[in-house]
């Protein structure tokens, strides 16, 4: 990806702490609602899933699509966001 | 000086004696005189009177005083004298001294100068003498040295010259000798070169011959390849036809020892199998799923509640994907297996002692293709042991020999072939299974032999494409094992001739049995062996069929193709004999060789590879059309060929027709060729003119007037016969009008003298005559072709302009889209503002009405509380919209006019005050009595464990359900109750509670039993401790009691 969104940069800039799931890049209000319904109310729960899926891009995107009906751009943004965060802080 | 010093001393000595006696003389005089007088006085007094005495004294004193003053005077005079004399003497003396001193000084200086002069003179003399002596000595020495050097140098030069002459002589001699040798060498080489060139010529002629031969063989080879391709195409078509009418029944996973008595049973079973296949993935356990995924190349990852769904989906997808690109080859694998069964059956007849062993091997081989590699490894061993024996029994020693020969050489290519095939075949497996399920009963009804034939055909194909390796020579790791198998066509013939319906079923069953072995069910293999044993006899092998396996893939294909058409008759013979012949061979592909991961990843590459031919075709077609277009563009309408065409209409003047006028509507026969020549002369000029006109050159005209034509013609013909040219031109015009297909037009110019190029065609010959007189007749081309460069430039211009237009349009469109987006976002923002404002308003209203007790609140007051004064003007529109929204869409707020403090103003009334807020997760009251003494109360609580029913719904998907329930229970029971463990079982809608003691459990029981919780009536039962521990073995028995996770709600 050549450039990243402001949201992405904000998220990657600091530890996620107790950030809500909507702070993830690619996850807006709608997706955030859906994810909350599915039990993923915080960003770290999504991170957990991301890690459980072993940072596999394909699987994680698939999961996101399944869970909250995300499109491929959103899922790819979210994946990139978590990936960068992990690279930074893990 | 000495002289002066001596003088001085002498003067002091002289002076001192002269002074001292005077000084000594005076005191002597004084002292001696006074006592003597005194001594004399008393004596006188005795003689004289006293009174005289005093006078005497007075006289004495006077005398004394005069005496002393005289003395002083004399002393002073003497002193002054002495001083003056002394000074004079000093003066004299110093003067004398100075004079003497000066004299001495001058004497000394003179003497000194004299001495200096003498000394310097002497020194100079000596120095000069020394210098002269030194110079002479030096010169002498120089002279001597130079003489010596010269001598030596001369000696050296003479010796050097002599040696140099000698060396030169030697070198020259040597060089001459070598040169002679070289010359001889060169001559020899020249001779050799000539011989070599001769041989080279011979060789090149031979090489040409060889080249010719090679070309011939190439051509032959190409012919052969074409033949091969044709045959391959035929083969493909045949295969496709066969596969269309195939009944495929294989690879069905699990089967018990069902007996299919009727067709219906079979159909039902097959349908059921379909469902099980579909549900198999869903119902897999986690471990199975994990292994399955690992088998398909996924990384092993934890299968949790959240990931499981995804992984299952993924696995399904992969299975589906794999089944799609699979071709019929996989069927062939399966069929091969089924055929292997028959062959093994016959082998078992031959070799009954090895029966058990063989069964095992068979199972292993058939299972091998489906099992993961790890499983396969363990099972491969028996196959290896098995296969040589089988082959021996089947084909005897001759096949062994041949295999040994072909063994290692063919092996590598074979492996490559197989791997590719296998990946494809493997992918097709599942889909085929489903197809067989749907097709099978139809085919069974038909009882035609075609499906079986097709399958056997395909198996034949596979066996031929997988030529195999000698077991003896290959290392034990080879993945392909081969053995002879029954000719499938033979199998079909038996089917067609004497197959009964029960046989048909039997065969199906056998296939099912086979597939069941694939699905890891060893027991089912009994079917196949029994069946094969019962139906098939030991085979007698025919020679040609044995030979076929050792041919290459391709020839094998050919041979199978060739052998197809004439087959029917031999089949019948065999049918009557009920004999089965041995088919080429069958190859096992062990799972070791196939790598699913590779398959998974190389699908893209395969796609390219598969579509290479079609892509190439498309490119070829495009090239062809491009060439066509290019030729069309380039093609020039050659005027001479057109003019000399026989089909052109030439009106010949005939004398017997009265209307004929030469040059007007007909041409004299002898002048036709002249006119044509004229045309040929002017045509190139005309084309260049039109080209330059088309290219937009200024001053160029797209036609030639008659005058210009005549000028050109006369210049070219070198005959200044203008009238001849004129008649030729007239004839030419007639010809042109009569032959529009020459591509020329006779035109009438609208205006002769302007540069306009307007003209109109003349179609009638009579018109020419009229126009000729005006001189406005011209000739032009009907469809002039533009030269390429001009065409290119023009196209570039037009393309540029269209590009600009398109760019402008796109920019416009983008602008419009941007504006629309902006507008939409603006609207959205506005509406969001309005909604937030509405929410704030409602909050304020409810708050204020609750706090103040008044049921209404002034609209303006709300506005003033919400919006700061500086924003009020700006937010007026939002505010109005929010007010309107509330008026229209808010049921809890009513707008009315009230007088507040004597002033009428609009107010909002909060009218939902009495509707109680929603109470969630709340205890709603008791349904029946549980206090002591009531029927529902147990006096002694028997166990510390409880089971609570109906606390939540089965559909409750709340992920935090457990904590919610825990909080609710703890809240209800209060602090005095010690609860160790609470857990929720969703399937049975039960909550299990473990307390610290039975009394605590009693408290819980009494406080929960018979209560309404969120509209559900709760019942509580005691549960035995061991049962509880059985269910929750990890539940704590001591330790911290559960406490509420959220602050306690006030509960009344």
**Higher model confidence: residue B496 or residue B1014?**
B1014
pLDDT in tens, B550-594: 444 444 444 454 444 444 444 444 444 444 444 444 444 444 444
Distance from CA of B252 to the nearest CA of A (A): 30
Q: Cβ B313–A66 below 8 Å, yes or no?
A: yes
Contact in structure between B427 and B323 (CB atoms under 8 Å): yes
Task: With cut-offs at 50, 70 and 90, classify the pLDDT of residue B877.
Answer: confident
- Contact state of A52 with B309 under an 8 Å Cβ cutoff: no
Cβ separation A62–B314 shorter than 8 A: yes
**DSSP-derived secondary structure for B278-335:** HHHTTT--HHHHHHHHHHTTPPP----HHHHHHHHHHHHHHHHHHHSS--THHHHHHH
Mean pLDDT of chain B: 69
Sign of CA dihedral B66, B71, B76, B78: positive
Residues of chain B with Cβ-Cβ distance to A45 below 8 Å are: none
What value does the mean pLDDT take over residues B226-245? 85
* Structure confidence at residue A83 as a pLDDT band (50, 70, 90): very high
Strands B777-781 and B704-705: antiparallel
Is pLDDT at B170 greater than 90 in this prediction?
yes
Name, of B359-363, B677-681, B785-789, the range with top average pLDDT: B677-681
- Of chain B, the percentage scoring pLDDT greater than 90 comes to 22
**Residue B80 confidence (pLDDT):** 94
pLDDT of B707 > 60? The answer is: yes
Enter the tokens of residue B936.
């529902």
Q: Which of residues 14-43 of A touch B (CB under 8 A)?
A: 39
The residue with greater pLDDT, B692 or B278, is B692
Q: What is the rounded distance in angstroms from the CA atom of residue B258 to the CA atom of residue B255?
A: 7
What sign results for the dihedral spanned by CA atoms B772, B778, B781, B783?
negative
* CA angle, B878 then B879 then B884, to 5°: 100
Question: Are residues A49 and B959, on separate chains, in Cβ contact within 8 Å?
Answer: no
Q: Is B619 exposed, middle or buried (0-12, 13-18, 19+ CB in 10 A)?
A: exposed
Instruction: Spell out which residues of chain B touch residue A52, defining contact as CB-CB under 8 Å.
Output: 301-302, 304, 306-307
DSSP notation for B662-726: BTTTBB-GGGHHHHHHHHHHHHHHHHHHHHHHHTT-TT--SSEEHHHHHHHHHHHH----HHHHH
CB-CB contact of B578 with B486 (8 Å): no
Q: How far apart are CA B866 and CA B875, in angstroms?
A: 11
Residues in A closer than 8 angstroms to B307, CB to CB, are 49, 52-53, 63
Dist. CA B781–CA B765, nearest whole Å: 18
Q: Which residues, including other chains, have CB under 8 Å from residue B783's CB and lie 6 or more apart?
A: B743
Q: For residues B810 and B806, what is the distance between their CA atoms, to the nearest angstrom?
A: 6
pLDDT at residue B508 tops 90: no
pLDDT classification of B637: cutoffs 50, 70, 90: low
Q: Is A73 on the interface with B (CB under 8 A)?
A: no
| Other beta carbons within 10 Å of B332 | 27
Q: In what order do the strands lie in the sheet with B903-910?
A: B856-858, B903-910, B893-900
B653-680 pLDDT, tens digit each: 776 666 666 667 777 777 778 877 877 8
B720 Cβ contact list (under 8 Å, min separation 6): B714
> Do residues B369 and B589 make contact, with C-beta atoms less than 8 angstroms apart?
yes
Confidence at residue B1051, expressed as pLDDT on a 0 to 100 scale: 47
Handedness of CA A73, A77, A78, A82 (dihedral sign): positive
What percent of chain B is predicted at pLDDT more than 70? 58
Please give the Cα distance from A33 to B466 (Å, whole number): 57
Q: What are the residues of chain B with a beta carbon less than 8 Å away from any beta carbon of chain A? A: 298-299, 301-302, 304, 306-307, 309-311, 313-314, 959
> B301 vs A56: CB contact, 8 Å cut-off?
yes
Nearest to B431 by CA among B279, B328, B313, B289: B328
Is residue B335 within 8 A of residue B455, CB to CB? The reply is yes
User: Is the pLDDT at B213 greater than 60, yes or no?
Assistant: yes
Going by pLDDT thresholds of 50, 70 and 90, the confidence category of residue B874 is confident
Residue B503, Cβ neighbours under 10 Å: how many?
Answer: 16
Residue B326 near residue B344, CB atoms below 8 Å: no
SS3 for B945?
strand
- Identify whether the C-beta of residue B297 lies closer than 8 Å to the C-beta of residue B597: yes
Question: Which region among B104-108, B478-482, B815-819, B852-856 has the lowest average model confidence (pLDDT)?
Answer: B478-482
Q: With an 8 Å Cβ cutoff, is A87 touching chain B?
A: no
Average pLDDT over residues B208-233: 93
Q: Which of B381, B402, B378, B379 is nearest to B391 (CA)?
A: B402
Nearest residue of A to residue B301, measured between CA atoms: A53
Spell out which residues of chain B touch residue A67, defining contact as CB-CB under 8 Å: 306
Say whether pLDDT at B976 is over 80. Answer: no
Q: Which pLDDT does position B276 carry in this prediction?
A: 54
pTM of this prediction?
Answer: 0.25
Q: What is the 3-state secondary structure (H, E, C) of B611-652?
A: CHHHHHHHHHHHHHHHHHHHHHHHCCCCHHHHHCCCCCCCCE
∠ CA B992-B997-B1003, rounded to 5° = 70
Q: What gap in Å lies between CA A42 and CA B882, rounded to an integer? A: 33
Residue with the larger pLDDT of the pair A28 and B405: A28
Q: Do A62 and B310 touch (CB under 8 A)?
A: yes
What's the CA gap between B197 and B767, in Å, rounded? 80
Q: Min CA distance, A64 vs chain B (Å)?
A: 9
Rounded (to 5) percent helix, strand, coil in chain A: 65, 0, 30
Of the two residues B131 and B290, the one the predictor is more confident about is B131
Are the Cβ atoms of A53 and B313 closer than 8 angstroms? no
Mean pLDDT, range B328-338, rounded to an integer: 40
Residue B921 and residue B931: Cα distance in Å, rounded? 24
Per-residue b or e along B76-92, where b marks 16 or more CB atoms closer than 10 Å to that residue's CB: eeeeeeeeeeeeeeeee
Nearest by CB to B301, which of A53, A66, A67?
A53
* Residue of A62, A64, A68 best to disrupt the B interface, most CBs of B under 10 A: A62
Q: Report the C-alpha gap between B512 and B531 in whole angstroms.
A: 12
| 8 Å CB contact between B943 and B997 | no
And the tokens for B606? Answer: 């395969």
Instruction: Give yes or no for a contact between B591 and B368, defined as CB atoms under 8 angstroms apart.
Output: yes
The pLDDT of residue B11 is above 60: no
- pLDDT band of B21, cuts 50, 70, 90: very low
What is the predicted pLDDT for the residue at B583?
A: 41
């Amino acid at each position: 990806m050549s450039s990243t969104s402001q949201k992405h940069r904000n998220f990657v800039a600091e530890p996620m702490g107790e950030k809500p799931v909507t702070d993830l890049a690619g996850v807006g209000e709608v997706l955030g609602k859906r994810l909350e319904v599915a039990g993923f109310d915080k960003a770290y729960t999504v991170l957990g899933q991301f890690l459980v899926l072993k940072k596999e891009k394909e699987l994680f995107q698939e999961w996101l699509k399944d869970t909250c009906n995300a499109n491929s751009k959103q899922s790819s943004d979210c994946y990139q966001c978590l990936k960068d965060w992990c690279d930074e802080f893990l | 000086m000495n002289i002066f010093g001596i003088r001085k001393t002498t003067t002091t000595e002289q002076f001192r004696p002269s002074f001292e006696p005077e000084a000594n003389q005076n005191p002597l005089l004084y002292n001696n005189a006074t006592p003597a007088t005194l001594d004399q006085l008393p004596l006188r007094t005795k003689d004289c009177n006293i009174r005289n005495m005093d006078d005497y004294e007075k006289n004495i004193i006077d005398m004394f005083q005069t005496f002393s003053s005289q003395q002083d005077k004399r002393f002073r005079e003497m002193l002054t004298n002495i001083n003056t004399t002394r000074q004079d003497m000093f003066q004299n003396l110093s003067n004398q001294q100075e004079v003497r001193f000066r004299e001495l000084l001058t004497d000394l200086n003179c003497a000194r100068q004299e001495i200096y002069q003498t000394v310097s003179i002497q020194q100079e003399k000596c120095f000069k003498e020394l210098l002269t002596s030194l110079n002479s000595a030096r010169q002498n020495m120089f002279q001597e040295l130079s003489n010596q050097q010269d001598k030596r140098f001369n000696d050296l030069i003479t010796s050097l010259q002599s040696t140099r002459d000698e060396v030169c002589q030697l070198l020259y001699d040597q060089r001459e000798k070598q040169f002679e040798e070289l010359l001889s060498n060169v001559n020899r080489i020249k001779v050799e070169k000539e011989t070599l060139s001769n041989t080279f010529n011979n060789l090149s002629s031979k090489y040409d011959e060889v080249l010719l031969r090679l070309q011939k063989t190439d051509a032959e080879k190409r012919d052969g390849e074409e033949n091969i391709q044709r045959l391959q195409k035929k083969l493909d078509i045949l295969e496709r036809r066969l596969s269309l009418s195939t009944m495929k029944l294989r690879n069905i996973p699990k089967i018990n020892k069902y007996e299919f008595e009727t067709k219906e049973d079979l159909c039902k079973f097959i349908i059921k199998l379909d469902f099980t296949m579909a549900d198999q993935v869903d119902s897999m356990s986690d471990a199975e799923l994990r292994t399955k995924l690992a088998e398909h190349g996924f990384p092993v990852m934890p299968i949790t509640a959240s990931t499981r769904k995804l992984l299952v989906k993924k696995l399904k997808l992969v299975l589906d994907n794999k089944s799609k690109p699979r071709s019929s080859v996989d069927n062939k694998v399966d069929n091969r297996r089924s055929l292997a069964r028959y062959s093994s059956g016959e082998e078992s007849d031959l070799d009954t002692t090895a029966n058990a062993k063989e069964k095992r091997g068979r199972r292993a081989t058939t299972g091998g293709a489906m099992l993961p590699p790890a499983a396969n490894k363990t099972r491969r061993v028996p196959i290896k042991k098995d296969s040589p024996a089988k082959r021996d029994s089947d084909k005897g020693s001759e096949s062994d020999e041949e295999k040994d020969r072909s063994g290692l050489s063919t092996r590598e290519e074979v492996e490559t072939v197989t791997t590719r095939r296998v990946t494809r075949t493997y992918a097709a497996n599942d889909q085929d299974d489903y197809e067989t399920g749907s097709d099978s009963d139809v085919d069974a009804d038909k009882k035609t032999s075609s499906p079986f034939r097709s399958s056997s055909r395909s198996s034949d194909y596979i066996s031929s494409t997988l030529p195999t390796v000698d077991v003896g020579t290959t290392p034990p790791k080879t993945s392909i094992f081969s053995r002879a198998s029954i000719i499938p066509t033979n199998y079909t013939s038996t089917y067609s001739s004497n197959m009964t319906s029960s046989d048909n079923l039997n065969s199906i069953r056998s296939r099912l049995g086979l597939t069941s072995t694939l699905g890891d069910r060893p027991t089912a293999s009994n079917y196949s062996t029994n069946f094969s044993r019962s139906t098939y006899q030991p085979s007698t092998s025919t020679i040609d069929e044995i030979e076929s396996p050792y041919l290459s893939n391709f020839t094998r294909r050919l041979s199978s193709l060739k052998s197809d058409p004439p087959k029917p008759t031999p089949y019948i013979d065999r049918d009557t004999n009920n004999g089965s012949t041995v088919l080429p061979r069958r190859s096992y592909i062990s799972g070791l060789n196939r790598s699913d991961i590779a398959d998974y990843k190389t699908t893209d590459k395969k796609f390219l590879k598969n579509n290479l031919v079609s892509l190439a075709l498309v490119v070829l077609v495009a090239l062809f059309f491009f060439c066509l277009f290019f030729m069309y563009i380039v093609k020039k309408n050659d005027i001479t060929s057109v003019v000399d065409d026989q089909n052109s209409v030439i009106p010949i003047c005939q004398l017997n027709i009265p209307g004929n006028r030469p040059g007007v509507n007909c041409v004299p026969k002898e002048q036709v060729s002249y006119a044509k020549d004229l045309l040929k002369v002017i045509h190139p000029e005309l084309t260049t003119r039109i080209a330059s006109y088309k290219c937009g050159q200024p001053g160029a005209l797209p036609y030639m007037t008659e005058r210009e034509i005549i000028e050109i013609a006369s210049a070219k013909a070198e005959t200044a016969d203008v009238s001849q040219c004129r008649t030729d031109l007239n004839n030419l015009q007639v010809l042109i009008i009569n032959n529009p297909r020459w591509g020329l037009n006779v035109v009438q110019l609208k205006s002769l003298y302007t540069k306009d190029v307007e003209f109109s065609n003349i179609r009638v010959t009579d018109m020419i005559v009229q126009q000729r007189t005006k001189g406005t007749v011209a000739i032009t081309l009907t469809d002039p072709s533009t030269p390429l460069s001009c065409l290119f430039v023009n196209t570039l211009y037009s393309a540029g302009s269209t590009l600009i237009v398109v760019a402008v349009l796109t920019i416009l469109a983008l602008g419009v889209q941007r504006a629309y987006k902006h507008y939409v976002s603006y609207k959205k923002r506005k509406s969001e503002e309005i909604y937030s404002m509405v929410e704030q308003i409602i909050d304020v209203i409810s708050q204020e009405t609750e706090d103040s007790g008044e049921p209404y609140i002034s609209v303006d007051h709300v506005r003033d509380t919400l919006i700061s004064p500086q924003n009020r003007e700006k937010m007026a529109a939002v505010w109005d919209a929010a007010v309107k929204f509330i008026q229209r869409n808010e049921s809890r707020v009513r707008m009315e006019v009230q007088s507040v403090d004597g002033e009428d103003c609009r107010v909002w009334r909060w009218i939902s005050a009495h509707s109680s807020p929603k109470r969630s997760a709340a205890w709603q009251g008791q349904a029946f009595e549980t206090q002591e003494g009531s029927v529902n109360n147990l006096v002694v609580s028997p166990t510390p464990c409880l089971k609570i029913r109906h606390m939540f719904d089965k559909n409750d998907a709340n992920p935090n359900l457990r904590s919610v329930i825990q909080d609710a229970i703890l809240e209800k029971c209060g602090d005095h109750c010690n609860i160790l463990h609470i857990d929720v079982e969703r399937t049975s809608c039960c909550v299990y509670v473990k307390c610290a003691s039975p009394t605590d459990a009693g408290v819980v029981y009494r406080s929960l039993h018979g209560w309404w919780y969120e509209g559900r009536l709760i019942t509580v039962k005691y549960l035995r401790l061991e049962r509880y521990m059985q269910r929750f073995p990890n539940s704590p028995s001591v330790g911290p009691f559960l406490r509420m996770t959220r602050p306690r709600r006030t509960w009344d």
